[in-house]
């Protein structure tokens, strides 16, 4: 019985410790896009999303290295299928997908 109590206590402590953010001083009220830009690489050709003032994704994202643009879900940043346009072509109206 004592072994069961110790095991349950250990499992509870591990579960709680996994729920604590890695950096508890980082505020998540700035939006997901804002936090993704914190992990952007400075390497040439790498993509870094563009955010609005609330920290959400701008509806149209473009790659500076390729010139391709696409629409995304402003909350998740996930690419919306069939919205990618190559360079030198009129972009899709991303507001249709909001």
Domains of the chain (ranges plus CATH)? Answer: 30-97 (4.10.800.10)
Given this model, what pLDDT does residue 17 score? 44
Question: For 1-56, what is each residue's pLDDT tens digit?
Answer: 555 555 555 445 445 444 444 445 545 567 899 888 988 887 888 899 999 999 99
Q: Which of 87, 63, 85, 83 is nearest to 73 (CA)?
A: 83
Q: Can you tell me the distance from the alpha carbon of 37 to that of 16, in angstroms, rounded to the nearest whole number? A: 28
Q: Enumerate the H helices of the chain as residue ranges.
A: 2-19, 32-37
Model's pTM, two decimal places?
A: 0.67
């Amino acid at each position: 019985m004592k072994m069961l109590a110790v095991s349950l206590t250990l499992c509870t402590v591990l579960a709680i410790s996994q729920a604590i953010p890695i950096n508890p001083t980082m505020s998540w009220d700035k939006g997901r896009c804002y936090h993704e830009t914190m992990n952007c690489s400075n390497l040439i050709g790498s993509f870094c999303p563009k955010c609005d003032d609330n920290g959400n994704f701008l509806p149209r994202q473009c790659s500076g290295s390729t010139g391709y643009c696409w629409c995304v879900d402003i909350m998740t940043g996930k690419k919306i299928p069939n919205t990618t346009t190559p360079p030198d072509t009129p972009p899709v109206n991303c507001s249709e997908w909001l």
